[in-house]
Structure formats: C-alpha cells, structure tokens
Amino acid sequence: MAPDLSEGAAWMKGKVIPISEATLGVTDWALTHSDVAYDVVPVVQGAFFRRDAYLDRFMASMAATRMDVGLTRGDIARALHDMVAASGLRDAYCAMVAARGTPLIPGSRDPRDCGNHFYAWAVPYIHVITPDRVEAGASVWVAQHSRRIPADSVNPRAKNYHWGDFTQGLFEAKDNGFETVVLLDHAGNLTEGPGFNIFLVEGNTVFTPDTGVLEGISRRTALEICAEMGLRTRVEPVPLSRLDTADEVFLTSSGGGILPVTKVGERIYGNGTPGPVAMAARKTYWQWVTQPAYRTEIAYPG
C-alpha cells in the first residue's frame, strides 16, 4: 500500500517519502553552519502560484552561495511537482533546499570540499499570521534588542537559514503579546520580519524597504497590485519614524499573501481595524492566485 503523505512529503535522493522519514546527517553544514540556500513556493488550490519566479530566485540564491547540487532547473521543477502530486496536498508550503553537505575529505574546513545536495519538502499551507488574527487586527513588535543581520554579512537576497536575529525578535514579540516582529537595520530603517516583507501606506503612496531585505515574490505581487489600484509605489529606505505618519501597514508573504496589521509597537492604525488599501489588495491577491497565467497546475494521480 502507498504510504500516507497527507501530513507532508519530502523528496530526497530522487525518491518521494513521508516527511517523518526525511532526515539529515548531523555533520551536514546545513545543520552545523545554517549553510543552505532555500525557497518556498506556495501551492494554492492545486497549482503552484508564480512558480517560475520562485525557481528563478532559488537558482539565483544557489549561484550567490556557490551551491552546486547537480540538478537542472527542470529537474528541480519536476521534483517539486512529483512530490506535491504524490502528497495529494492542494494547498501547501513547498520548500526546496540546497544544503552544503558534509566535506568529502573528512575534517576539511574548505567549503569547496562539501558535497552539496538538494532536497524538498511539502506540508499543508502555513500562514505567517492566521486569517482569523488578520481579520481581527494583527500586531507587530519592533525588535528592541535584535537588529537585522547586516546585508554585507549575510546577503538577505539569497534566501537563507540565518534566523538567529528573527528568533530573538520573536521571543521579544511573543513575550510582549504581539503576533510577530519586524527588525530594524543598524541605521534605524525598517527591514523585514520572519517570513515577510513590510509595506506602509501614506495617502495614495505605498512604501517598502529597498535594501537589507529578501525581494519577496509576494512583495512583487503586492507592488503590481498596488500599481494596478492606481497607487504610487516607492521602494526606498523606510525610517522607523515613517510608522508615525503612515495610514496603514501591511505585510507580504507566501504564507498568506497580503496581511494587514493594525498595531505596530504602541501605534494603532485604523482604530484597530484592517485598512481599506490592504484589505482591497489582499482580496486581489487571492483573485490572482486563481488566474491561469500565474498557475502551474499539478497533475495529481487518480
């Protein structure tokens, strides 16, 4: 009998296996040095959303971090497809990972000696903030003690597992009763949070940070949606003080699309009600995921 993959599936060494059986060796630099390039493409209603944009970013992250997993873009696309198809998951968080691996010469400290390898895994769709919390008015803490790791130390455009700064920030946020956290850079500008980019709305203009952030695919989608709504879009440094003059704040993530927030630190927006621009953009995001031009359909068995 075929194994039950509905809790999640993984693709490892050419095989699709239950996620509970997917394991990594303890000496893999993926673990010992957080040394991976990765990406996450959402699966919505039985199709990958904007799959090619995610694959492009993953290939670029691998090039930037000098990963060579010995697979082509087509091989990776097929692996993701076959894994999600086998899982039967119609709405999924689908991760692809290039891991540095273990040095092929025992004891070597030379990253060029590592055997890089690819694996993937898929689980039921994950929301960075659950829809009920979004509707009720979600809150974001601005980290006081944890700054975003500088972009010239770890390149945030190459999607990576260096989450120590976010994890410390999340402890602060949770301890203070907030949903999630946004980090500042060392110049006091807003950057991003664990799994999302941030946007501010002021009048008919939306702002999002230009540097020190992952160039989110949902960020790109939100910029396109806002332009289509007739808003001006500005991608530039966003100082913390701009939160004081903003009318609305929202987050963008493949884990939920466009996420209005009503509270950032002590600042309350829209009397605690999700803002009209963010709500309209959120609705459009969920319409776009159903548009054939953005979808790569999954051929599920049976």
Ligand X SMILES: Cc1ncc(COP(=O)(O)O)c(C=O)c1O
Three-state DSSP class for 288? helix
CB of 219 to ligand X, least distance (A): 5
Identity of the residue, 84 or 86, whose beta carbon is nearer to ligand X in the bound complex? 84
Residue from 214, 249, 259, 264 that binds ligand X (CB under 6 A)? 214
Residue from 17, 43, 114, 217 that binds ligand X (CB under 6 A)? 217
Please give the full DSSP string across 28-91, using - where no structure is assigned. Answer: -HHHHS--EEEEEEEEETTEEESHHHHHHHHHHHHHHTT---S--HHHHHHHHHHHHHHHT-SS
CB of 271 to ligand X, least distance (A): 28
Residue 264 to residue 158: CA distance in whole angstroms: 27
DSSP, res 199: E
CB of 255 to ligand X, least distance (A): 7
Please give the residues from 20 up to 49 whose contact with ligand X meets the rule CB under 6 A.
40
Is residue 219 involved in binding ligand X (CB under 6 A)?
Answer: yes
Nearest to 42 by CA among 126, 157, 130: 126
- Facing residues of 201 across strands? 206, 248
List Cβ neighbours of 269 (8 Å cut-off, separation of 6 or more): 246, 247, 248, 249, 261, 262, 263, 275
Residue 90 to residue 93: CA distance in whole angstroms: 10
Identity of the residue, 139 or 218, whose beta carbon is nearer to ligand X in the bound complex? 218
Q: Which stretch binds ligand X (CB under 6 A): 75-83, 92-100, 190-198, 288-296?
A: 190-198
DSSP, res 158: S
Is residue 223 involved in binding ligand X (CB under 6 A)?
Answer: no
Identity of the residue, 116 or 180, whose beta carbon is nearer to ligand X in the bound complex? 180
Q: Per-residue string for binding with ligand X, 107-146, x by CB under 6 A?
A: ----------------------------------------
Structure tokens at 49: 């959303």
Residue from 137, 195, 256, 275 that binds ligand X (CB under 6 A)? 195
Residue nearest to ligand X as judged by C-beta position: 216
Q: Which residues bind ligand X (CB under 6 A)?
A: 40, 192, 195-197, 214, 216-219, 252-254
